[in-house]
Amino acid sequence: MSDRADAIVVGGGVQGLATAVQLLDNGVEDVRLLERDALCSGTSAAGAGFVGLWAMAPPYDERELAVERYGIDYYRRLQERALDIGFAQNGLLFVAADEPTWNTVEGTWRLRDHLDRVTAARPGADPEPVEVSAERVEELTGGTVLARGVHRGAFQAAAAQVFAPKVGTALATRFVEDGGKIDARRPVTRLTVEDGRVRGVETPSGRVESDTVIVVAGAWTNELLRPLGIYLPFVPLLTSRIITEPLDVPVDMPVTFLVGVSPTMPLLWLRSHEGALLWGGVYLDAPREALVDSTELPERFDEIPIDGVQQCVRIAEQVSAYVPALARYRSMKLKHGAPCYTPDHRALVGAVPGVDGLWVLAGDNEAGLTHGPGFAKALADHIVRGDSELADLAAWRVDRFDGRYRTDEEVADAVRAALTDQAEGKERPLGPPTAVR
Ligand SMILES: Cc1cc2nc3c(=O)[nH]c(=O)nc-3n(C[C@H](O)[C@H](O)[C@H](O)COP(=O)(O)OP(=O)(O)OC[C@H]3O[C@@H](n4cnc5c(N)ncnc54)[C@H](O)[C@@H]3O)c2cc1C
């Protein structure tokens, strides 16, 4: 008996689920989502849930801004549909401990340019990011960040937050309610391609046929594409989320980024999660690059070394001088994920060249919760109608690097260089990589 679908989505993380929902919204009747494990058991399980207007930092521009605004609206509507996703529009606060860091924040995040661009793009739409004093930082965070350790900050009121696991559940509910079909714990073992056209997928319990297959398999995307001789230039970099026991952290505090807290940690982030502290840091040492050029990715991230988390804990001890909750917690729940970074920090969204009917949404650059709904809409619109009023996919074209990157290590070199430039407040020209061999 033949098992057929009008479209198959491979991967049941937030971005795969969002894509599946958008296909239904576009009138595709029979959409099948295949997930190897439980839904949202990959990187989506670990997401911190910040839904920001990241387009104020290079290389993002108006195109990502449109996708980000869409994401915030989308999550608001999802919550209004009585699907609790922990949506709150508490804003986003960048905090610099000293003046040199503040100058870097201003330079890197182009606060003033952003303000001009945002106002020009949609006058009056987003409350502007405003510069705030140390005292105002303490007030906005309800005393979670004390003025005494802070130079100043920048506050963006339009930003929102969600709880990633709840987003997964809500999207799955919507998808099934609207007629979609989910096969969980059914891995795709092979993409079937004949005469340059996708024909479906193989699974241990048989083939599913379709002329449209969208691979949204996060860090594992290249594993599925490799047998077709295709390598997408992204590198999975491990990072972790920590949730403490309830500590009375004000639920209305903004998502807070402590910038430049240490030379080994450019960013420590925190927010309230139902009164507990949800936090983490961008650690640069092991195990961040443990999956680079890995021939066999682990199917789950629950056994990765916790050296990076220990580094977060050490830095947090220093920061606790002005964030007292970081000295008060006694318990930690950990989740690890592997966001996938591209050489130019932009996502990979669109048709896979050389294989008709095969599409991809990958290279999330640790922003897939924010960008997922918008990219999913733009991608589904293109698949069904050939264009999208939300966004043209040109900026995220899958083949834009023209084969310049052939290994994870080459991509990782480019990502490291971009991070160093960002830490120094330099805007990085998006030219060819330094690491082409
Ligand atoms: C600590 C941390 C903090 C973060 N914070 C934020 C944030 O604040 N804001 C933000 O926007 N983003 C954030 N992110 C990034 C965000 O979580 C990711 O961008 C997003 O979850 C990626 O979703 P995805 O669906 O692309 O990938 P995944 O969630 O990894 O989903 C891919 C799915 O594909 C499945 N799969 C793999 N291979 C197969 C196969 N062969 N067959 C079937 N299924 C398969 C996997 O099991 C997995 O479920 C954070 C990530 C981490 C780790």
User: pLDDT tens digits for 327-377?
Assistant: 999 999 999 999 999 999 999 999 999 999 999 999 999 999 999 999 999
Q: Name the residue with the closest Cα to ligand 1, atom 12.
A: 367
The finding on whether 44 has its CB within 6 A of some atom of ligand 1 is yes
Position in ligand 1 atom list of the atom nearest CA 335: 1
Distance 313 CA to ligand 1 centre (A): 24
The finding on whether 46 has its CB within 6 A of some atom of ligand 1 is yes
Which residues are paired to 407 by β-bridges? none
What pLDDT shows up at residue 264? 84
Give the model confidence (pLDDT) of 44-71 as tens digits.
Answer: 999 999 998 887 666 788 899 899 999 9
Q: How confident is the model at residue 83 (pLDDT cuts 50, 70, 90)?
A: confident
Q: Name the residue with the closest Cα to ligand 1, atom 8.
A: 50
* Cα–Cα distance, 52 to 57 (Å, whole number): 11
Pocket probe mutation, ligand 1, options 366, 375, 379, 396, max atoms within 8 Å of Cβ: 366
Q: If you average pLDDT over every residue of the chain, what do you get?
A: 91
Q: How confident is the model at residue 108 (pLDDT cuts 50, 70, 90)?
A: low
* Cα–Cα distance, 182 to 339 (Å, whole number): 24
The finding on whether 34 has its CB within 6 A of some atom of ligand 1 is yes
Mean pLDDT score, 380-404: 97
Distance 322 CA to ligand 1 centre (A): 32
Distance 219 CA to ligand 1 centre (A): 8
For strands 239-246 and 332-337, give the pairing.
antiparallel
Distance 43 CA to ligand 1 centre (A): 3
Q: What is the pTM of this model?
A: 0.94
Give the model confidence (pLDDT) of 136-191 as tens digits.
Answer: 999 999 999 999 999 999 888 889 999 999 999 999 999 999 999 999 999 999 99
Kindly list the distances between the CA atom of residue 138 and the CA atoms of 93, 95, 130, 184, 284, in Å, as whole numbers in the listed order. 11, 10, 15, 45, 28
Distance 98 CA to ligand 1 centre (A): 34
The finding on whether 225 has its CB within 6 A of some atom of ligand 1 is no
Distance 427 CA to ligand 1 centre (A): 28
Distance 16 CA to ligand 1 centre (A): 9
Position in ligand 1 atom list of the atom nearest CA 39: 49
The finding on whether 254 has its CB within 6 A of some atom of ligand 1 is no
CA proximity to 155, closest of 214, 114, 194: 114
Pocket probe mutation, ligand 1, options 163, 220, 241, 268, max atoms within 8 Å of Cβ: 220
Which residues are paired to 10 by β-bridges? 34, 215
* Cα–Cα distance, 264 to 341 (Å, whole number): 19
Distance 13 CA to ligand 1 centre (A): 5
First to last CA, the chain: 49
**Is pLDDT at 382 greater than 70 in this prediction?**
yes
What pLDDT shows up at residue 12? 98
The finding on whether 11 has its CB within 6 A of some atom of ligand 1 is yes
Sequence-distant (6+) residues with CB within 8 A of 84 are: 166, 170
Contact between 68 and 55 under an 8 Å Cβ cutoff? The reply is yes
Helix (H, G, I), strand (E, B) or coil at 381: helix
- The amino acid at residue 41 is S
Q: How confident is the model at residue 430 (pLDDT cuts 50, 70, 90)?
A: very low
Position in ligand 1 atom list of the atom nearest CA 280: 1
Position in ligand 1 atom list of the atom nearest CA 361: 26
Contact between 221 and 72 under an 8 Å Cβ cutoff? The reply is no
Distance 418 CA to ligand 1 centre (A): 22
The finding on whether 367 has its CB within 6 A of some atom of ligand 1 is yes
Q: Name the residue with the closest Cα to ligand 1, atom 19.
A: 368
Distance 115 CA to ligand 1 centre (A): 30
What pLDDT shows up at residue 8? 99
